[in-house]
Structure 1
Amino acid sequence: ICLATERFGAASEQDAVIVLEEGIGPVRCGVKLLDGAGFAEFDCPKLPERAGQAESKDFVAVALGLAPAEIGFENHVPSVWSAGNPFHFVPVRDRAVLGQAVPDRSAWAHGFGEGAAFVYTRETEGFAHAFRARMFAPAISIEEDPATGSAAAAFAGAVHDFDALPDGMHSLVIEQGYEMGRPSLIHLEMTVSGGELSLVRIGGRAVRIAEGVLTV
């Protein structure tokens, strides 16, 4: 969004396509500028795949300061997926449990090793939203993240697997960052063909809140 704004101007109403060269490969980014804000949507260059076996509910629960009975809902159980960066996906019973989650550094390695945990529930604040989530990665000094696009991309694998998405395009919105006072809405779009994920896109809005100049 910043690159598109610099190119077309903050007051422009403009659609743009930018290709970002990332370590995982070229990433196509579509940007829509409107009234000084913007919406960016990224094509995920790598489809999500399982990235190992999750630990038992007992270890996962202790690492998050929760009870084992609070882990899981419907057929969702802890799992590990990656679309470039691996994440441990932990379903919890409801928003109340999600809000009570607190990483326990002394037990983190037993539940997640050096990895990050994306904790989620089906219960949301917005009626039209599909999931509410929090992301913790204390092993790399991230106590909590308000919006984690790489986790949302990998989360498509868990959603497709547990919810048995039929062929076609599926769009949903994930709430994240609410518990830390920095609410974010992550748009996740998935296309299923022949029972398999064939395309994953993530997107969201951003507003410039600060700027600076680096003199070299």
Structure 2
Amino acid sequence: MKFYTLDVFTNQLFSGNQLAVFPEAAGLTTEIMQKIAIEFNFSETVFVFDDEDTDFYLRIFTPGGEIPFAGHPTIGTAFLLAKLGKFSLDSEETEVMFREGVGNVPVMVFKNEDGKIWTQLKAPCPPEFYTDCPCKKDLAQMLSLDLDDLMVDNFVVEGASCGLPFLLIPLASLEALSRAKINLGVWQRVLKDFWSPHVYIFVPTGKDSFQGRMFAPALNITEDPATGSAATAFAGYLAKYQSESEGCWRWDIAQGLEMGRPSQIRAIALKQNHIIKEIKVGGESVIVTEGDLKLN
């Protein structure tokens, strides 16, 4: 069975977020897909199936289990299927519709004059927020940081989700961001059964730019170098706290620098009449390997 691996949210080999994709996965059972995801041991592995109602049906597995939605698998799979000619690119912008566990996820595939391709997903559902969060003292202990590292005037700790929930935690400096390390004992006490057990920490680096890190012990992911689902939740959070009732904002998010796998994510949010109407996240991808998995 043919597979490909990619680096996503980057245009350079050996950076971004690793992804394995099986573009023709018909016949695989859930048990086998989970074992394959464990074998590859990437943060996500995608299995692509034909679908009657959409262009393709994606099933996304982490080493710890199947998840309903993820950003870099959606972005990377759209890029790969376009490169393989699984759908035509007749214009500069082509929409492809994926069905995932969370529902239908539209993806725009952009192709410029020199043939370069990048992809952008639209969040499958409007952002949800959860404001009753653990205290900062517990969160600081969980991140192996001092309380002052979490004291940020312009941002608040909040849970957010556009299909996969994250606890968004602002930090005071890039130095604190680099020092952060999950204390699993405290995480199990504070966040294991929380509405948003996955942790996304961030620091503003400019007017419209941020640097972040993501930890997901619940999914057996020690740290993720680029997290599109977290970027969609984060964009919803940022749009929520824009003072204007209407507008369109774009942010550049760097991730993975502490892991030696720098990534660049573009996030866009549209708000109308105080309501967040649309969130988009996109980036580039590169194919790294292709091969055959021997199942018998």
TM-score, normalised with respect to structure 1: 0.89
Say yes or no: does 1:121 pair with 2:216.
Answer: no
The one-letter code matched in structure 2 to 1:202 is: V
Aligned CA distance change for structure 1 residues 14 and 207 (closer, same or farther; 3 Å)? farther
1:65 aligned residue: 144
Cα deviation for residue 140 of structure 1 reads 2.2
1:20 aligned residue: 98
The one-letter code matched in structure 2 to 1:80 is: G
1:206 aligned residue: 285
2-structure distance, mates of 1:65, 1:77: 19
1:150 aligned residue: 229
2-structure distance, mates of 1:80, 1:42: 21
Cα deviation for residue 142 of structure 1 reads 0.5
> Taking every aligned residue pair, what percent have the same amino acid on both sides?
30
Q: What runs of 5+ residues in structure 2 fail to find an aligned partner?
A: 1-78
2-structure distance, mates of 1:98, 1:13: 41
2:247 to 168, 187, 190: 168
Matches within 5 A, 1:1-216: 1-7=79-85, 15-33=93-111, 38-51=117-130, 53-114=132-193, 115-123=197-205, 130-214=209-293
Aligned CA distance change for structure 1 residues 61 and 37 (closer, same or farther; 3 Å)? farther
Instruction: Tell me if the contact between 2:157 and 2:170 (Cα under 8 Å) persists in the aligned partners.
Output: yes
TM-score, normalised with respect to structure 2: 0.66
Aligned CA distance change for structure 1 residues 72 and 158 (closer, same or farther; 3 Å)? farther
1-structure distance, mates of 2:285, 2:240: 30
Aligned CA distance change for structure 1 residues 110 and 76 (closer, same or farther; 3 Å)? farther
1-structure distance, mates of 2:92, 2:143: 43
Q: What runs of 5+ residues in structure 1 fail to find an aligned partner?
A: none
1-structure distance, mates of 2:116, 2:292: 20
The one-letter code matched in structure 2 to 1:118 is: Y
2-structure distance, mates of 1:210, 1:171: 32
Tell which deviates more after alignment, 182-191 or 151-160: 151-160
For residues 94-136 of structure 1, what are the alpha-carbon distances to aligned partners after superposition, in whole Å with 9 as ceiling and x for unaligned? 111100000111111233225110000112xxx6751100000
Q: Secondary structure at the match of 1:122?
A: strand
Give the RMSD, CA atoms, in angstroms.
2.3
Instruction: Tell me if the contact between 1:66 and 1:100 (Cα under 8 Å) persists in the aligned partners.
Output: yes
Cα deviation for residue 36 of structure 1 reads 7.0
For residues 61-108 of structure 1, what are the alpha-carbon distances to aligned partners after superposition, in whole Å with 9 as ceiling and x for unaligned? 000000111114233121101111111000000111100000111111
